[in-house]
Structure 1
Amino acid sequence: MNRLRKLKAILEDKKDSCAIIFGSPNLFYFLEYSGAGALIYCDSRFTLLVPALEMYRAENVKDVDIAIYYPSKILENVIEGNIFRAIEKIVNKSNIMLDVSWVEASTYKALSEKYKVIDFSNEIVRLREVKDNDEIERIRKAGEITAVAMKIGMEKLSEGTSNEKQVAGIIDMTMRSMGAEDYAFPSIVAFGENSAYPHHIPTDRVLGNNDIVLFDIGAKYNGYCFDSTRTFVFKNSEAKKVYEVVLEAQMEAIDAVRDGVMASEVDITARRVIEKAGYGKYFIHSTGHGVGVEIHESPAVSMNSKQILKENMIITVEPGIYLKGRFGIRIEDTLIVTKGKPIVLETAYKLL
């Protein structure tokens, strides 16, 4: 697998160290494996270490050795004991490299008592942030599913009868019926004043006359996520004005996206438009984030980001304005970074 070769290239010159990689997103990225365990690299060999309950799932993983652990010797070729005892059987160096961002405190403590721990989380982040063609196609497909769910959700809005939970459920069911294994994050459906909460949890709130409606949804397809937000404004004149500000901020930020640009410049571009319109203090989150196996990945598209955008990174651009007790407006697209204009993976027209 090409991703394992990239990982091996990083580790090959660390002859005095072994590497242990935890974290479900990392294991899926490198192995297409969805389950508990750890990927270990020692003496130029990769081993997937899993508990016995995952051994059938692990049989499908290619290009690595498989090691199984269990508290008792119930099967042949099983390491008796817990995961730490199993690691001791495989790791034969005094130094271990860890992606510390995915290690629980208790695990880190146990490993650091026996080994010298070297953090190589930044190297893992760099590998994952630029997508290959297969990853891009999966994210495109997740976007196509999200677009259908967005359309169906809009069609199911019924004044006086639809509530947020019901519409969110219809959106989630649509994504699964279209081939998604899951949603990338719990779907946000917000009516009226609830749209002012960026991470609103759907309630029994019923759609009222001319309520603003905000959908923030995304499918997960074959392990990869998508993210899209649309706000639908009807006869609220103030909301229409704010919508136009957010749309202008989003379009200018999208125009700033290209290979070689600082991610912070994209955020600053959006923020400048919103501040000029007098709503700066109501834009209370960053402009975007990377998308991949996780819904929030590197790079961070924020005012303090030090990262430079690269071709085939996939990011969101999602400025917003939130007026508590009244309404919130957010517009979000997922984009593929190129050397020129970004490719915008749209899900619905941006209409008032």
Structure 2
Amino acid sequence: MPHTHVPRLIYDSAETSADLRYITQVLTPDPCLWFCIRNQAYLIVSPLEYSRIKRSIQDAPVATTVMSTEEFTGSSHRNGPHHLIHAVSKRFKVFCWQVPFNFPLGLAARLKRDGIHVRPKHDTPFFPERILKTEREIEYIQAAQKMAEAGLAAAIDVLRQAQIDDGNNRILWDDDVLTSERLRAVIDRTVWDLGGLPLHTIVAGGKQSADPHEMGHGPLPPHAPIVIDIFPRDRSTGYFGDLTRTVVKGEASPIVKQAFQAVREARDSAIQRLKPGVNAKAIHEHVKAVLSTHGFTTELASDPPRGFIHGTGHGVGLEIHEAPRVSSI
């Protein structure tokens, strides 16, 4: 963590705050208080979490002292977050803190009444060093990615085993209709067994596959695209993997084959243009142009929007969507 003399503070749960998970390297299911003054960090947790957190905090990127809320609020009923921050501010004589941009507005207003001011940091993430991954972080991401790959392999195996019932326009597997829900369950069980947390896995077939982030429901159609999007979180490290594939069980239509060739050409051309310092938006615009030459033009103003309405790519880490964003933004 870069040296800074600006007192910083986070009140959140490491379950939901990637910044807190990053700077502590521990999982705190309940909200807790992290703060740093003159490059000395502190983490205040409940007595319930104290022993576990103190044992686990050794991997934090900055030296961190773990303390119990009892040291500040005692057994008093005045143990809300503003009371805790007030007690910390008074003890350390700090009455102005830099906080993440999503710091709770209500809490900030309550602290202001006590003469304690918070100044949101407009840049995200709160710790810019999160953008450049360490070797260990890369290993964490690779481990999560392998979980996603295993989930995809399990799904492909099911589709290979499945049979097409053309008379009823359906896919059968294990003597029953293959649905989005059944195939998603196969993927999610595989990911879970490998130590991952599957989150909203997408298995969307037919027309549903054209609607980004539609999870998919009902029978999967034969001879039509099936989008599989798997983005597990490693339960032990908190890091994400992410992959998306489009498959067809049966015979792909001419337009699907045309789209496949267009996407492959756009992908390969984009990869050739990737290098340090390149403008990510320019890569995305190039991909749109390549797709357009194949007849797939983008019309964002149409209703519904048509064409390449998705981003080209994004980074992953403690959040599923991280920098760099290869998109129109």
TM-score by length of 2: 0.79
Query: Matches of 2:208 and 2:65 in 1, distance apart?
Result: 51
Q: 1:49 aligns with which of 44, 47, 52?
A: 44
Map 1:328-347; keep pairs closer than 5 Å: none
Q: Which residue of 1 aligns with 2:53?
A: 58
Secondary structure at 1:140's aligned position in 2?
A: helix
Q: 1:230 aligns with which of 218, 228, 245?
A: 245
Contact persistence 1:188–1:214 (CA under 8 A): yes
Query: Matches of 1:214 and 1:169 in 2, distance apart?
Result: 15
**CA 1:20–1:72: 2 relative to 1, 3 Å:** closer
Secondary structure at 2:69's aligned position in 1?
A: strand
Query: Matches of 1:88 and 1:51 in 2, distance apart?
Result: 16
Map 1:17-36; keep pairs closer than 5 Å: 18-23=7-12, 24-35=17-28, 36=31
Structure 1 counterpart of 2:9, one-letter code: I
Query: Matches of 2:39 and 2:107 in 1, distance apart?
Result: 24
Q: Which residue of 2 aligns with 1:163?
A: 179
Contact persistence 1:27–1:38 (CA under 8 A): no
- Answer with 1 or 2: which has the greater Rg: 2
Q: Deviations over 1:291-340 (max 9, x none)?
A: 10010112322223xxxxxxxxxxxxxxxxxxxxxxxxxxxxxxxxxxxx
Q: Which residue of 2 aligns with 1:209?
A: 222
**CA 1:111–1:249: 2 relative to 1, 3 Å:** farther
Contact persistence 1:164–1:191 (CA under 8 A): yes
Q: 1:239 aligns with which of 233, 253, 256?
A: 256
**CA 1:141–1:265: 2 relative to 1, 3 Å:** same
Query: Matches of 1:195 and 1:169 in 2, distance apart?
Result: 18
Contact persistence 2:311–2:326 (CA under 8 A): yes
Deviation of the 1:270 alpha carbon:
1.0
Contact persistence 1:69–1:82 (CA under 8 A): no
The structure whose RCO (Cα within 8 Å, separation 6+) is larger is 1
Q: Deviations over 1:12-50 (max 9, x none)?
A: 3x3xxx210244211111111211212101244211122
**CA 1:213–1:127: 2 relative to 1, 3 Å:** same
Deviation of the 1:244 alpha carbon:
1.4
Instruction: Tell me, yes or no, if structure 1 residue 200 matches structure 2 residue 214.
Output: yes
Deviation of the 1:53 alpha carbon:
4.1
**CA 1:197–1:57: 2 relative to 1, 3 Å:** farther
Instruction: Tell me, yes or no, if structure 1 residue 284 matches structure 2 residue 298.
Output: no
**CA 1:31–1:72: 2 relative to 1, 3 Å:** closer
Structure 2 counterpart of 1:254, one-letter code: I
Contact persistence 2:73–2:87 (CA under 8 A): no
Q: Deviations over 1:60-108 (max 9, x none)?
A: 323322233369744xxx995212111122222232111113x122223
**CA 1:49–1:278: 2 relative to 1, 3 Å:** same
Query: Matches of 1:295 and 1:171 in 2, distance apart?
Result: 18
Query: Matches of 1:79 and 1:254 in 2, distance apart?
Result: 58
Deviation of the 1:173 alpha carbon:
0.8
Q: 2:190 aligns with which of 174, 180, 198?
A: 174
Q: Which residue of 2 aligns with 1:106?
A: 106
**CA 1:116–1:19: 2 relative to 1, 3 Å:** same
Contact persistence 2:19–2:127 (CA under 8 A): no
Q: Which residue of 2 aligns with 1:93?
A: 94
Q: Deviations over 1:173-206 (max 9, x none)?
A: 10121232x12x3110011111011101232x21
Deviation of the 1:112 alpha carbon:
4.2
How many aligned residue pairs are there?
A: 286
What value does the CA root-mean-square deviation take over the aligned residues? 2.3
Structure 2 counterpart of 1:21, one-letter code: I
Residue identity over aligned pairs, in percent, reads 24
**CA 1:95–1:127: 2 relative to 1, 3 Å:** same
Map 1:57-136; keep pairs closer than 5 Å: 57-59=52-54, 60-62=56-58, 63-69=63-69, 73-74=74-75, 81-91=79-89, 92-101=93-102, 103-113=103-113, 114-122=115-123, 124=126, 126-136=128-138
Contact persistence 2:223–2:252 (CA under 8 A): yes
TM-score by length of 1: 0.75
Q: 1:275 aligns with which of 284, 292, 301?
A: 292
**Please, which runs of 5 or more residues in structure 1 have no aligned partner?**
1-5, 305-352
Contact persistence 1:67–1:79 (CA under 8 A): no
Secondary structure at 2:57's aligned position in 1?
A: coil
Structure 2 counterpart of 1:139, one-letter code: I
Q: Deviations over 1:122-169 (max 9, x none)?
A: 263521111000000111111122111101111112323211011111
